[in-house]
Amino acid sequence: MRRILVTGAGGNAARNFIASLRMAPEPFYIVGTDTNTFHLACTDADASYVIPRCDEPGYEEALLKIIAIERVSLVHPQPDPEVGWLSENRDSFPGLLSLPEHADVVACQDKMHSNRLMAAADVPVPKSIRAHAHLDFQDAVDSLMG
């Protein structure tokens, strides 16, 4: 039986991913992690662990320990911060991740950057402006509409 670790397992997207795995004809052993113990009460994982946030000390060590204990063969990061962190630190998880190249992950996590990349590749994109503060918002709307 394949053993999959799903991060952010108590969140809506991860819960839907786990539900999809449960519908597959092949059975999976699912290990869920989350930073919030209350979120894990909502998961359908076979085993659940509370771990630090990916921007806190101990995150990598916690994941590696769980991977070893549970004999995980694939890590599926769900929340964007964990996707980014695991992508950047993929060398610590050899053979366990199925992610695009890190530059592509970075582009996907920044809508303005991906807008510029697509425009440079002659993909039609809407005009976009980055608003840095609430007060910039009206100026951005006026610029786009005018």
- Residue pLDDT tens, the chain, 146 long: 999 999 999 999 999 999 999 999 999 999 999 999 999 998 999 999 999 999 999 999 999 999 999 999 999 999 999 999 999 999 999 999 999 999 999 988 988 888 998 999 999 998 887 777 666 677 777 777 76
Delimiting residues of CATH 3.40.50.20 domain(s) in the chain: 2-107
- Distance between CA atoms of 61 and 55, rounded to whole angstroms? 13
Query: In whole angstroms, what is the distance from residue 32 CA to residue 50 CA?
Result: 9
Q: How far apart are CA 82 and CA 54, in angstroms?
A: 6
In angstroms, the CA 143 to CA 31 distance is 48
Tokens 């795995």 — which residue? Answer: 21
* Whole-structure pTM value: 0.85
Among the CATH numbers 2.40.37.10, 3.40.50.20, 3.60.9.10, 3.60.20.10, which is that of 2-107? 3.40.50.20
